[in-house]
Amino acid sequence: MLNNDLALQKLESTNSSARMQAALALGTRPDPRFIGTLVERSAVEPEFFVREMLTWALTRHSPATVVPRLVDELRSPLAQARSQTLHTLSKIGDPQAWPALTRDHLTDPDDEVARSAWRAAVVLVPEGEESALADVLASQLGRGERMTQLSLSRALIALGETAVLPPLRAATTATDPAVRQHALATERLLSDPDAGFGFAVEEAKRIMALGTGGQEE
């Protein structure tokens, strides 16, 4: 196993395997002096699996030490920095990060940032604030490609029927057909989580074609 000083050097290697080993070493022997380096590397690391190891290394540190540094990173102009930081915060799950997760993150124009924010939000949301969060998430219905829409549906469903059903029902009457379709598909998944997103979307299309507003005549 690399010592921490050598691991820091290897984080800059052009070899992704070397960077992976370096992140593993820094997580195996967590040292708060290197939190900043791990966060900075996460912002620019091109390989997914190395980023995952960097996240793991950060989760090995005390939340009291690492979360404030991650919260600072949420203001980064780099989309990957914001996205990876939100992902890491969702893995840590410390509620002190909640106030830093803003509407701007939840509605970020970059889909990867928004998806990470949605996942983090449903982990961090305090009890009693689920409905307010559901309203913000519902404002994003209809955006993006299939994977983005699936991520949003999963986040909404995770908040529970009581919080989610009112904004979903409202969205099924939206003027934008993409919003209506996504809302109907999410409502279908809420009632039958095993249906599958593809099936739910096709069901939503059928309902819209029939013009029944979600209730068959």
Domain identity same for 139 and 187: yes
Within a domain: 2: yes
* pLDDT at residue 212 in the model: 56
Domain identity same for 133 and 207: yes
Domain identity same for 145 and 92: no
* pLDDT at residue 164 in the model: 96
Domain identity same for 94 and 135: no
Specify the DSSP element, H or E, that contains 41.
helix 35-44
Within a domain: 22: yes
Domain identity same for 147 and 102: no
Domain range enclosing 187: 125-217
Within a domain: 119: no
Q: How many domains does the chain have?
A: 2
Q: What is the mean pLDDT of each run of 10 residues along the chain (217 residues)?
A: 78 94 94 95 97 98 97 97 98 96 97 98 97 98 94 95 95 94 92 79 80 51
Of 107, 140, 174, the residue that ends a domain is: 107
* pLDDT at residue 213 in the model: 53
Picking from 157, 106, 143, 86, the residue whose alpha carbon sits closest to that of residue 168 is 157
* pLDDT at residue 216 in the model: 43
Domain identity same for 40 and 66: yes
Domain identity same for 45 and 89: yes
Within a domain: 118: no
pTM of the model: 0.90
Within a domain: 89: yes
Domain identity same for 135 and 217: yes
* pLDDT at residue 217 in the model: 37
Measured CA to CA, the distance from residue 117 to residue 133 in angstroms comes to 11
Long-range pairs, 166-173, Cβ under 8 A, ≥24: 166/131, 166/134, 167/134, 167/135, 167/137, 167/138, 168/138, 170/138, 171/138, 171/141, 172/213, 172/214, 173/213
Domain identity same for 100 and 131: no
Q: Is 102 left (phi over 0), alpha (psi -120 to 50) or beta?
A: beta
Domain identity same for 140 and 44: no
Within a domain: 148: yes
